[in-house]
Amino acid sequence: MESLYYVLTYACHRKCRHCYDTRFRPYVRDELKAVVGEGTANFKRIIANLPDRMTYLDPAHPNPDGTPSERVGRLIMAGGELLLDPVRETLFYPALEAAREKYGSRGVRLSMQTTGDIVTPRMLDELRERGIWMIAIASLDDYHVGMEGDKRIIFVEKLTSMLEAAGFNAVPDPASGRDHLTEDGPFYVFFGAQPGKWIAELWPRGRAWEDGLSSADMKTNFCARWSGGKNFLNHGWAGAEVSIEPNGDVFPCCLKTKLPIGNLTEERLVDILDSLKGHPVFEALNAGEPWRMGESLGWSSEAFHAAAHTTTPQGKPYANLCIGCDRFHEERLGPVIAAIREKRRALIQTAD
pLDDT digits (tens, 9 = 90+) for 190-244: 998 877 777 889 999 999 999 999 999 999 999 999 999 999 999 999 999 999 9
Going by C-alpha positions, the residue among 88, 71, 66, 70 that lies closest to residue 79 is 88
220: Cβ–Cβ under 8 A, 6 or more apart, which residues? Answer: 201, 320, 321
Is there a cis peptide before residue 204, judged by omega within 30 degrees of 0? no
pTM of this structure: 0.96
107: Cβ–Cβ under 8 A, 6 or more apart, which residues? Answer: 53, 54, 55, 72
What per-residue confidence (pLDDT) applies to 225?
94
| DSSP summary character for residue 25 | B
Which regions of the chain are under pLDDT 70? 351-352
In contact, 308 and 323? CB cutoff 8 Å: yes
What per-residue confidence (pLDDT) applies to 174?
86
The Cα–Cα gap between 132 and 282 comes to 33
Distances (CA, A) of 302 to 122, 172, 322: 56, 44, 15
Cα 146 from chain centre: 25
What is the location of CATH 3.20.20 in the chain? 3-267
In contact, 247 and 263? CB cutoff 8 Å: yes
224-255 burial: b if 16+ Cβ within 10 Å, else e: ebebbbbbbbbbbebbbbbbbbbebbbbbbbb
φ, ψ of residue 260 to 5 degrees: the values are: -75, 160
CATH domain 3-267 topology: TIM Barrel (3.20.20)
What per-residue confidence (pLDDT) applies to 349?
73
In contact, 132 and 166? CB cutoff 8 Å: no
| DSSP summary character for residue 273 | H
Q: Which long-range contacts (CB under 8 A, 24 or more apart) does 82-89 make?
A: 82/8, 82/9, 82/112, 82/113, 82/114, 83/114, 83/118, 83/119, 83/123, 84/11, 84/12, 84/13, 84/118, 86/11, 86/32, 86/33, 86/36, 87/8, 87/9, 87/11, 87/36, 87/39, 88/123
Q: How many helices (H) and strands (E) does the chain have?
A: 11, 13
Give the containing element (helix H, strand E) for 114. strand 109-114
Please name every residue paired with 112 in a beta bridge, in sequence order, or none if there are none.
Answer: 77, 135
